[in-house]
Amino acid sequence: MEAGRRATLLSWRNAMTEPIFFADLDPADSAKALTAIRDHVGPGAVVFAWWDMSRRIRAAAERRAPLDDPLARGLQTPTAWNANAERMLPKQRGFWGAGASEKEGEAFGRFIDALLSREAQGAEALRALADGQEAFLALRLSDIWKAAAARPEHVEIACKDFADAHDAREAARQWMRDNGVEGGFAVEPMLGATRLHYLPRARDSRLLLARLLPFSTSNPSALENFELVYQHKDCWIYRLRPRR
């Protein structure tokens, strides 16, 4: 529990095949990412991340991660909840959102809007959030699922699991060609399988969040406003370049 009585997720293992609540969070991988944040982010800078990651950064990396959300936006609910979502989801949001203020929620909404903009517009919005301070972004592949849960009208994401194949990326490309999927994709190794995360719509591949994550249509070196400073598994840390 973070200071201010905010629940902070340190480890999570999903025992279901569908993505729910949070993506798997391995403590060892999380520790590497938090160490990297301490190494790359100075005490005077800010780190923008989803509210759950922001809490871990504040608690364990001891860096300024100002974003939080009283609405706990981005929670992915189990399909079995669909009939009772109006009753069960508020309880989860109430638990995870406890302690965060309305003002923090407004800033977090601006962060989501920035991620779901084009690069130049999103970068400007993030600079405004940083208010003159050096800024970094800490992202995970699961953030695009959270963004789709929070803003389903702005981005769509889906997944398909494959039995382990010799060339999972080629298998994914072939499946997408066969099914007429036009957006980008990312592959994630899993126990005994490979998960294909894909964007059904081509236009969503051009969103800032999709360009910052390891989709087939993204290229970090081609970004004008962001510099990749660390990557380990599904964790990607960028420095927001100053305005030219």
From first to last of its 244 residues, the chain has per-residue pLDDT tens of 444 567 666 555 555 555 555 555 567 778 888 999 999 999 999 999 999 999 999 988 899 999 999 999 988 766 665 555 566 677 777 777 888 999 999 999 999 999 999 999 999 999 999 999 999 999 999 999 999 999 999 999 999 888 766 677 788 888 989 999 999 999 888 777 788 999 999 999 999 999 999 999 999 999 999 999 999 888 899 999 998 7
- Beta carbons of 218 and 186 less than 8 angstroms apart: no
Residue 1, pLDDT score: 46
pLDDT of residue 78: 63
Handedness of CA 230, 53, 152, 127 (dihedral sign): negative
At residue 117, the pLDDT reads 98
Residue with tokens 């719509």: 201
Render 61-117 in DSSP notation, one character per residue: I--B-----TT-TTPBPPGGGGGGHHHHHHHHHHHHHTT--HHHHHHHHHHHHHHTS
Structure confidence at residue 114 (pLDDT): 98
List the domains of the chain with CATH numbers: 27-157+199-240 (3.40.50)
